[in-house]
Amino acid sequence: MGRSGLGAARRSVALSAKGFMPEDEGDALHSAALTAVGDAPMLEVGSYCGRSTVWLGDAAEQTGRLLYAVDHHRGSEENQAGWEHHDTEVVDQRVGKLDTLPFFRATIHDAGLEDTVVAMVGRSPLLGAAWTTPLSFLFIDGGHGDEPARLDYELWTPHVAPGGTLAIHDVFPDPADGGRPPYEQIYLPAIESGRFVETGVTGSLRILQRVS
């Protein structure tokens, strides 16, 4: 059976989920995940409410792989009160903190991906420091501050298997277009390391392949 793009039902679930992944970038992410080399699992850093996870989970299902979705579900810096991307609907009023996990679980349930997507609830540096499994596909869309982005690069990219794929979201070479950390702390170090080469660009999404 041939591999195909995201179906209408799952596309509807993805687009109705809270999140920041444009449809064209989601489709490019899906295509890159479908064609990623190797049978090793896939991993997403930064799932929020599961919007991008649907595209990736569908690709994982089609290729017989698992997708690990890493997020502490308390929101990144830019999601907190007083910041541009704050959403009061995802605040747990009992504790006064963001909690996107119920939204994420609903999205994955509605997309029919509970047998493919494995939620890993915790802070990326803690999980990354303990991770040992090679990855066929890594998508980094976590905290957009300098330190979170740097740690995501340092802790997760070494696990991309040779020939595997690294995808990075919110890469803005021009400072006028958006925040700098994903560009300065993840994209540039990956390219300058000589271990990755760029193979695709869609909006702020960059697709790289590990070559050494």
| Active centre residues (catalytic) | 144
CB-facing half-sphere around the CA of 179: CA atoms within 13 A: 17
Nearest to 71 by CA among 102, 35, 25, 26: 102
Cα–Cα distance for residue pair 129/182, rounded to 1 Å = 20
Query: CA–CA separation, 193 vs 171, rounded Å?
Result: 17
Start-to-end CA distance of the chain, whole Å, equals 32
b/e map of 23-43 (b: 16 or more CB within 10 Å)? eebbbbbbbbbbebebebbbb
Nearest Cα to Cα of residue 120 among 72, 51, 65, 52:
72
